[in-house]
């Protein structure tokens, strides 16, 4: 059955698309060309338009990633809280990967993003769907240990 995302206007269409992308990402691990094609077919949209939306939002991934995607905020508030550079450097050193890379064991992918809407609780980092606030390198180490034990 095909869904008509334009039936209730552009806001409803966008919400439907974002939900579909979220579900597809959960199923495929990332928004692979196959996942994008499937969403486009289900919503009767052009794959190009679906892909453009997927690449616009930081919560969506178009490349294969590790089990845990660490998204460190590099926004202004997090910079001013002396968090962004410090946390990224710390994670690069601890995980021995660069930004955009995944650890050889497939556990962690390191990314940076612009503002996680937690500016009053900076520095902030999102791990998959969970937001962590007021982070320090010590708290990041604890978090990495927790995640290695399975969360
Ligand atoms: S700038 Fe980091 S959460 Fe807004």
* Residue 73 domain-assigned (yes or no): yes
Q: What is the pLDDT of residue 121?
A: 95
CB 84 near ligand 1, within 6 Å: no
How many A from CA of 122 to the centre of ligand 1?
Answer: 6
pLDDT digits (tens, 9 = 90+) for 36-53: 999 999 999 999 999 999
Running DSSP on this structure, what letter comes out for residue 120? G
pLDDT digits (tens, 9 = 90+) for 49-105: 999 999 999 889 898 889 999 999 999 999 998 778 999 999 999 999 999 999 999
Among 24, 34, 93, 99, CA closest to 69: 99
Q: Clarify whether residues 52 and 72 are in a common domain.
A: no
> Which CATH number does the domain housing residue 73 bear?
3.40.30.10
How many A from CA of 37 to the centre of ligand 1?
Answer: 33
pLDDT (mean) for 108-122: 94
- Mapping DSSP to helix (H, G, I), strand (E, B) and coil, where does residue 10 land? helix
Residue 25 structural domain: 9-56
Q: Clarify whether residues 73 and 49 are in a common domain.
A: no
How many A from CA of 121 to the centre of ligand 1?
Answer: 8
* Residue 34 domain-assigned (yes or no): yes
Q: Clarify whether residues 92 and 132 are in a common domain.
A: yes
> 105: which 2 tokens?
């064991």
């Amino acid at each position: 059955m095909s869904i008509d995302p334009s039936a209730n206007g552009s806001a409803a269409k966008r919400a439907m698309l974002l939900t579909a992308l979220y579900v597809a990402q959960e199923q495929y691990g990332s928004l692979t060309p196959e996942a994008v094609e499937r969403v486009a077919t289900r919503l009767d949209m052009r794959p190009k338009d679906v892909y453009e939306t997927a690449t616009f939002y930081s919560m969506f991934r178009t490349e294969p990633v590790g089990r845990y995607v660490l998204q460190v905020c590099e926004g202004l508030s997090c910079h001013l809280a002396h968090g962004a550079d410090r946390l990224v450097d710390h994670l690069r050193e601890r995980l021995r990967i660069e930004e955009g890379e995944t650890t050889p064991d497939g556990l962690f992918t390191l990314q940076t993003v612009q503002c996680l809407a937690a500016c009053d609780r900076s520095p902030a980092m999102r791990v998959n769907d969970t937001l962590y606030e007021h982070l320090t390198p010590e708290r990041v180490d604890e978090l990495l240990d927790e995640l290695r034990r399975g969360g």
